[in-house]
Amino acid sequence: MIWNDQLNREIPKGWNVGQLSDIANIAMGQSPAGETYNENGNGMIFYQGCTDFGTRFPVPRVYTTAPTRFAKSGDILMSVRAPVGTLNVAIEDCSIGRGLAALNSKIGSQLYLWYTLAGFKQLFNVLDGNGTTFGSITKDTLYETKVVIPNPVLVKSFEEIVQPIEQKIRIIEEENRELTKLRDWLLPMLMNGQATVE
């Protein structure tokens, strides 16, 4: 570990300090007109903020027929309005509103980016606990946030180890969604006698 004057703390030797925009492509959300929203599946899935966030993946509820800003499947969705820093991963292509930013890695490790952003959330929580409320974070502040950048060989090794675990989490989530759909289809039939269990 060596001392870094920019961060006022020690970082691993051989690592660099940069900005979040050095390691991530960042798209800030923009909300479409309110009259384009619906909950009947018409149009594209739309997430305004972190209201529909789950443990790891958001749950579709609102759709829009006039999407303006987009996130791709696998992009990290980060809340940029209170609570700032809350994270989820888009499990499908979607539209994002002004309460979110969509991020993907420039350095070949979406998971390193995820855990870097998770560290930001811990910082925001500490500041909130000290009475400094982060109501929102601006585009410039997000882009310029200081990050530690490991050497590329280490990033690649980390991604190779952690990616299979992340993939399994995603598969389980997709299976759970299918089981939920099956339950919601089958339960009414059981209740009204259209189906029986032998």
**pTM value?**
0.86
Res 135 pLDDT > 80: no
Confidence of residue 195 (pLDDT cuts 50, 70, 90): confident
Question: In degrees, to the nearest 5, what angle opens at C-alpha 58 toward C-alphas 56 and 59?
Answer: 130
Average pLDDT over residues 32-45: 95
Q: Out of 131-145, 158-172, 179-193, pick the least confident.
A: 131-145
pLDDT digits (tens, 9 = 90+) for 61-110: 999 999 999 999 999 999 998 888 999 999 999 999 999 999 999 999 99
